[in-house]
Amino acid sequence: MPTQLHMSLFPRFLSRLGGWLIIGLLAWSGRADDLKVHARLVWGTDHKKPEGAAYSSLDDKSKEKLRQFKWKNYWVVNEVASEIGTGNPVLVKLSKKCAIDLKDLGNGLAEIRLYELNSGSEPKLVKPIHHSLEALKKGEYCILAGDDKAVWDDAWFVIVTAAK
């Protein structure tokens, strides 16, 4: 008789085990798994590219993502590739005044933190945002933006996408 009872519990055990495996796989699929991202610092302006500047024009697909803004020109000031890991985030400099760090939060979201850099002081956190890792993997953009403090009526953008 104990053998029969034991055998009747076995299908229930397998069912529960299968459920936990599915939950585990879903949680794992939302992780960054060291997802590489491409981050670009972009200047939005109506001005021409400054002479001698190594800026490049933003690609058409990315310009389309910024279509609701008013500027004629979008200059890529700098671009970097970085990984989104689960450990301590590493500060990635986009310019002498701007940096970001990226971290997998473990819940399907990445935290992207924007910093202002000033010489002689610690980086100042400007804005943290959370963005879906799955959305990045599918090719969506994460865009942070703000006014340019140096030039009235210009703006800057940090565009983060999955690296190709």
Q: Letter for the amino acid at 18?
A: G
pLDDT at 8 over 70: no
Predicted confidence (pLDDT) at residue 96 exceeds the cutoff of 60: yes
d(CA 82, CA 76): 17
pLDDT digits (tens, 9 = 90+) for 100-137: 999 999 999 999 999 999 988 899 999 999 999 999 99
Alpha helices in 30-155 (DSSP H): 60-65, 133-137
Domains of the chain by residue range: 1-30, 35-162
The predicted-structure confidence for 41-94, as pLDDT tens digits, reads as follows 999 999 999 999 999 999 999 999 999 998 999 999 999 998 888 888 888 999
Residue 120: predicted pLDDT: 87
Confidence check: pLDDT of 33 > 90: no
* pLDDT at 7 > cutoff 80: no
Q: Say whether 99 sits in a helix, a strand or coil.
A: strand
Segment 17-36 mean pLDDT: 48
Question: Chain-centre distance of CA 47, in angstroms?
Answer: 28
